[in-house]
Amino acid sequence: MLRTVDIAHAGQSSSEALILLEVAISKAKEEGVVAVKIIHGLGSGSIAEKVRSWAQEQKGRFKAVIPGEDYNAFNKDAVNMRSELSNKQDRDFNSRNPGVTIFWL
């Protein structure tokens, strides 16, 4: 299962958004979710920057972290992650969307 969590449109600060991110990731791991797609808005926003920075700090915690702009059929991690999904439909796949980041758990 690919779970989608929108942390960009709830009107919180970037610090509050990071708390939502951490809770969403932890809950998804506990529930056996394959991956979490975080909607953080475009890359120039502070939430997007904080999410990408946080992902770098968490190196080794995830099978892969896939930026939306690299979430396509030419990305080995994206293809391998999607092979674990029962429902492969996702409008952001192959769309080069910089407003999302996928965490493969």
pLDDT at 83: 97
The CATH code of the domain that includes 87 is 3.30.1370.110
Residue span of the structural domain in which 6 resides: 2-104
For the chain, 105 residues long, give each residue's pLDDT as a single digit of tens. 999 999 998 788 889 999 999 999 999 999 999 999 999 998 556 899 999 999 999 999 999 999 999 999 999 999 999 999 999 999 999 999 999 999 999
CA angle 83, 30, 36 (to 5 degrees): 45
| Tally of domains in the chain | 1
For the chain, give me the number of helices (H) and strands (E)?
Answer: 3, 4
